[in-house]
Structures are given as C-alpha cells and as structure tokens.
Structure 1
Amino acid sequence: MELITFVIAFLIGAVMGLTGAGGSILAVPVFTYLLRLDIITATGYSLFVVGITSLVGAIKNVVQKNIELKPALYFSIPSLTTVIVTRGTIVPLIPDEIFSSDSLVIEKQTLLLGLFAFLIFYAAYSMLKKKKVQEIKPVFDIKRLALQGAVLGVIMGLLGAGGGFMVVPVLVLIAGMEMKKAIGTSLMIISVNALSGFIAGASGLENIDWIFLVKFTVLMVAGILTGGYMTSKIDSQKLKTGFAWFITGVGAYILVKEFLSL
C-alpha cells in the first residue's frame, strides 16, 4: 500500500507540473480513502504537502522575478489571518456530530468532505470554461482583493485546499497582473497560507508521521519537475480538460460514498 501511495504522490506531482493544478484536490481524497485518515488529519497533511510544493515553485519564480509583492501583501494578510483563525480555532470547535435525529446523523467528516466535493466541482468548472481574462479590463481594487483573500483563507483552513484555480483569476482580474506573474505570485501566497494553516492546526493532529510526509512531498516535487519537463511534449490543454473530468468523477464519488450511507 505504501508503494502505491508513493507512486500516486509522484503522479499527482506530474499532473501539477503539466497542468498547474491538482495538488490538494487529489491529495485529500488519497489521504482520506486510500490511507483512511480522518478528515482533519487528511486536510492537515494536504496543507503541508501543498505548502512545500508551492514553496519550491515560488522560489523558482522569485529567481525569475515573476512575483509582485504589493498585490501579494493585500491578498495574503487577510488570507493568512483567516486561515490561521479557521484552522487553529474554528475547525477544533466544530463538533464531531453536526446533526442528529432518529433517522439521520451528519458528522463533521461527512460535512467537510461534502464541501470538499463541491470545491472539486468548482475547480473542474474553472478548468473547463473558456477563459477570456485578457479581454476584460482589470481594475485594481484593494477591498475586493482583501475580501477574496479572506475567503480563500477560510476555505483553505476548512478543507486543506484552495489553490491556483482560485488565486490566479483574482490576481489577473482584480490586481491586473500578467498571467505569468499571477501564477508565480499565487504560488507564494499558497505556500505561505498552507504552511501557516498546517502550523496553526498541528496541535490537533495526533502523531504526525513526518517520515511519510517528507517522502510523499519529495515524490510530489519530483513529479512536478518531471511534469514541467514534459509540458513541451504533451498537449497540456487537452490533459487539463481530461483532468477536469477526472476530478469531477472524484467529487461525485465523494458525494455518493459520504451521503448515500446516511
């Protein structure tokens, strides 16, 4: 099982390298259903893995000068605040049993995985829709940038996910950034938020398996580098479309598994 898990880690990284998406969207289901971790541990591990892999990409973009600090700060300060508060304070306060009646019991795990499934659907939609970002004249709006950052922090704190598919469009449409710089800046934002969320919620994780986490992360990074090398040899847009439909299936599987058993 461990070998299969590490092969999947490499494949997740390869998909990230080829499409620029998919890290947390696939990591959480793998941790939950393959390794049978509870949702809090699974999302916590996802924050660590995504944080480190995004940091690797962010460092590369710092060297290439593809990061704009001013928009990043306007976005990161509120997102950092909400991810820490959500992960460190709100998540531990959510009761294990959300709702209970004679015929129905909804637990924390079911609720969070249901929300995660809808986040997957949103990610798939953002990959499938025809983007016309360049046709829209961006208007730099600090309040909207900060609000979007705060929302991202809550989502990341609750679900251990919320990557470039949410951040990049905001940086392009609201901050008026070029796509290349928006991608680079988003990696920095995601790495800071994910690692901060992991640290904030670490006290709620029992017996963190650091050896496993490091191995999984290293293999994901190796996959990202491999995928990045292969981008010139594969039609990444077609792959992205196929991946979007694949994760739609993952989201549907989560909903069926969690809610048909109620």
Structure 2
Amino acid sequence: MSVLITALLCGAVVGVALGALGGGGGVLAVPALVYLLGVEPAQAGTTSLVIVTATTVTALFRHAGTGNVKWRTGALFAAAGVLPAIGTSVLAHRIPQSVLTAAFAALAALAAAAMLRGTRTTTRAPAEDDGPAGPARRGRLGTVAAGAGLGAVTGLLGVGGGFLAVPALVSVLRLPMRKAVGTSLVVILINSVVSLTTRLAVSGISLDLAVFGPFVGAAVLGAWDGRRLASKLSGAALQRAFAAVLLGVASFMLIGVLA
C-alpha cells in the first residue's frame, strides 16, 4: 500500500475518533505514524500534535453548536495542565522511546478500564448535568489534579490527551458522555497548542509533507463526519467504542515493546 493511501486511511480514522469520541486522535496518530508510515519516533509525537491541533479545531467547531461543550469546565481543566505540559515536553526527548511506548500503552489500558466502569455506572443512574457551579460541586481540587495529570501526559507522550480527558470528565466531574466528548475538545486544543509550542521552541520540527499533507487533510474531513456519527449513538455505545479502540491500541503497542 502506498504512503499516500496509508496516510489518507490513517488520517480518516484519527479524524473520526476525535469527532465522534472527543479523543483518541493522538493515541491513534502516534502508532500510525511510527509503525505504518515510518516516521521517526522522536518526530512522531510532535507531528501528532500538529495533526491533532488542526483536527480538533474542526471537531470543536462541529460540536460548539450542540450545547455539549462546557467551555468553563474545559478551560479550567486545561489550565491546570499548562505548566505540567511545558515541563514534560522539555523532558520528552530525554526518556528512552521504549519507556514512553510502554507508559503510553499502560495509560491507554487504564483509560479503557475507566470508560468501561463508566458505562456500568451510567446504566444505574443518569449522570448529573454540569451547570455553572459544576466544578465547585464536584470539587475544584479534583478538577485541578486531573487536569494537571493530563497536561503532564500530553507533554510527555505527544498526544492531545482526549483519551484520558473523556474518562476523567465522566468519572471525576460526572459529565454525561456527550458533554464529556464536546468538552474534551477544549482540553485537547489547549493542551496540544501548549505542548506543541514548547516542543518547537526546544527541538523544532521537520514534517514529511508527503505524509503530513494527506494525513491532516483526511483527519479534518473525518472529524467533520465523526460528529454526525456520534449523534446516532447512545452515550453508553460511545463509551464502549472508545474503550475498545483504547484496548486495541494498548495491546498493539505493548506487543511492539515486548517483541
């Protein structure tokens, strides 16, 4: 399969994941860039952040008119992760790639488990909506702690963080799945821009346009259609789909580390 076709297919999958699930773009983009498109691991995280940033803007635009984006909650969540994201972005190139890959896989598996627990919780009782005082009711400390942890992961692994933001918004802040999906895009965008800016300042970037161009183009189109797909699925179905994607990626990456 040619590089062009592979990049188009990978980009479409990443875009649909971001548009429909509010995350999973970076956690899919990084292994796709490394294992399928031959991008050097040191550049894959940075390239992924560029792709995720561009795609998230499209996905957020699609979700903004639905009422499912809690801007204040997303901004607070992301703000707590700015300094950790900067710090870990500086450290990212000093840690062995095998360690980063194993950490990436382990976090994806933990996030999948959190989402599966969330589906069982939401079948027992409907999630409480998030009004203006939502973060205060849930505990600002929990919001800040979760946001800081997510920022650190974003900077270290070169992902937007949506694969952890959605489970955190559902489990910690008790947002309904659809609102968690929309709100996570705010978090992803802020975290990605901060981490990308830091990485560019520290090490610069060299994009392979033959890979990047078709990848990001297909991802943007996929994000546009992903929002339409999300509207046809229940919150529980979205959570199960998210968890399945994360478990598949975690297994694939762990096999790569152990092989």
Unpaired runs of at least 5, structure 1: 96-107
Q: Percent identity?
A: 28
Contact kept? 2:25, 2:162, Cα under 8 Å: no
| Deviation (angstroms), 1:72 | 2.9
Q: Which has the larger radius of gyration?
A: 1
Map of 1:20-31 to 2, 5 A cutoff? 20-31=22-33
Alpha carbons of 1:61 and 1:201: their partners in 2 closer, same or farther (altered >3 Å)?
A: same
Query: 2:45 matched to which residue of 1?
Result: 43
Counterpart secondary structure, 1:132: helix
TM-score, reference length from structure 1: 0.78
Correspondence list, 1:74-85, <5 A: 74-85=76-87
Counterpart of 2:114 in structure 1: which amino acid?
A: S
* Aligned-pair CA distance for 1:245: 3.9
Moved more, 175-184 or 247-256: 175-184
Give TM-score scaled by structure 2 length. 0.79
Work out the number of aligned pairs and report it.
246
For 2:131, the equivalent position in structure 1 comes to none
- Quick one: structure 1 residues 256 and 170, their matched pair in 2 at CA, closer, same or farther if it must change by over 3 Å? closer
CA offsets 1:187-231 (integer angstroms, 9 cap, x no match): 111111112211210242442335643431221121122333345
Equivalent position to 2:121, from 101, 109, 132: 132
Structure 2 residue runs without a partner (length 5+): 129-133
Whether the aligned pair in 2 keeps the contact of 1:17 and 1:226 (CA below 8 Å) is yes
Considering only aligned residues, what root-mean-square deviation do their CA atoms show, in Å? 3.1
CA distance in 2: counterparts of 1:148 and 1:258, whole angstroms: 28
Q: Deviations over 1:119-160 (max 9, x none)?
A: 221233234333425557773311221111110011111112
> CA 1:15–1:230 in 2, change beyond 3 Å: closer, same or farther?
same
Question: Could you say what secondary structure the match of 2:81 adopts?
Answer: helix
Tell me the equivalent position of 1:161.
159
Residue aligning to 2:92: 91
Which residue does 1:103 correspond to in 2?
Answer: none
Moved more, 65-74 or 28-37: 65-74
Q: Which residue of 1 aligns with 2:180?
A: 182
1:200 counterpart = 2:198: yes
Equivalent in the alignment of 2:36: 34
Q: Distance in 2 between matches of 1:180 and 1:253?
A: 28
